[in-house]
Structure 1
Amino acid sequence: MKKFSIAFLTGLFIFGFGVKESYASSPKYTVKSGDNLYRISLLYNTSVSNLKTWNNLSGNIIFPNQTLIVGNKISKTKTASKQVKKELTMKSTAYTAYCNGCIGITKTGINLRKNPNQKVIAVDPKVIPLGSKVFVEGYGYAVAGDIGSAIKGNTIDVFFPTKKEAFQWGRKEVKVQILD
C-alpha cells in the first residue's frame, strides 16, 4: 500500500506539474474594473467559452485584478493567422450613449446602454464596412458598429460608457487596422 501511495502521489505531482507547465507560457490578462468576458474575448480574438474553459470558470463573473489565461499555444497559432487587411491613419473623437438626442442603440443594433463595456466605433461605411473587426491604437479591438452624421472619410468616433472617459479621449489621430 505504501508503494502504491508513493507512486500515486508521484504521478499526481508529475501530472499537476505538466498541467501548470502547459499554461506557463500562455498569454495572461489582468482584469480591470469594467471588464467582462465578452470584451476580453474580443481583445484576444477568442471565445467566451474558451476563456471559461482555460480558467475553470462556471459562470461569467470575473473580478478586478483577477489574472486570466487568455490563450494557449494552439489558439495563439490559430489567431496568428488573422491578418490585417488594411491600416489607416484616422482622426478620432469619442462619444457616449447619453448625449442629447442619443438613444444608445447603434446602426447595427448594439444597445450600448445595456452593454456599456462593448468596444464599438462609429465609421464611414464607405471607408470601413459596418461589422468589421478593427484594432484601434490606444483603444483596442472593437467592432465597426455605428455611423454618425459627422463621421465622413478617414474619421472614427470611439464609444465610451461615460462622458468623462469620452472627454479624456478627446480628439486625436490614431492608427486603425481593419482585420480579416
Structure 2
Amino acid sequence: MINSKNLKVLLFTAAITLFSAHSAKAADYTVSSGDSLYTVGKLFNTNTYTLKGDNRLSSDIIYPGQVLNVRAKDYTVKSGDTLYLIAKNNGISLNFLRKANNYWTDYIYPGQKLIIPGTSYSVNSTSQTHYGVIPYTDSDLDLLARLVHAEAQGEPYKAKAAVAAVVVNRVQSSAWPNTIRDVIYQRINGYYQFSPVLNGMINQAATSEDRQAALDALNGYDPTNGAQFYFDDSTKNTWLWSKPVALRVDNMVFSY
C-alpha cells in the first residue's frame, strides 16, 4: 500500500512538475462510413479522449471524409515488400493495415507511405513509446503491472485496475512526477510512496490479468474517477481517512 507515514508532507511539498507528454508523430486518417471515435481509437491503439484532444473536437460525432490526426508510425515501402509482410512484421492484421490506409488493392510500390495502426511513433530506437491517456513504454507497462500484482493480488479486477489508475492519475497531476517509473519509485523525506518498492514485492512477475488491468488504466479506464491514493481499511491514519473516498473494493479504499 501507499506509505502513510509521510503523506502529510505532500500538503507542504512545493516541488511541482508540469506534465509534458512526448509529442507523437501525427498521421492523417480519413474517416470511413461506420467509423466512430471508439473504433478509430481501437484501430490506432488510443482512445476517444486522446483523439478529441489531438483534433480539438468538442463532440464525439465524426463523419465520412473527415481527416483526423492520429498518433501512428509511418512506414515507407521498400523493394520486395508486400502488404502481408508489412502487416506481419509489425504484428498487426492485414485487414487493420488496409483499414488504416483505406487501401484495398494488393499493389504497392517502393517509396509509398503507409500508416501502421496499433503502434505508436518511436521516441528513440531502443524504447517504443505507446500512447494511451499518458505516454508509456513496454518497460513502464511491465512495472505498472508488477505494482498491481504486489498491491492487489487476490483482489477483484476492479481493484487491480484502480491501483493502476492511481499511478496514471498521479502522472497526469502536476503535484507528482510525470513518468510511471518516477511515480512508483518516488521517495519523500526518504520514504517510498509504495511499500512494494521497499519490501521487494515490486520485483515479482505480474500475471496476464495484472498486465491487462494496467493496460486498461493506461488506455483510460479509471473506476475511481481520479483517485490519487489508496490504502487498506485497517489503517488508523486519520489524515488518510479524512480524504474523500472515491471507491471501496473489499478491504481497499481509494481516495482523492
TM-score (norm 1): 0.29
Higher relative contact order (CA 8 A, sep 6+): 1
Q: Name the structure with the higher strand share.
A: 1
TM-score scaled by structure 2? 0.21
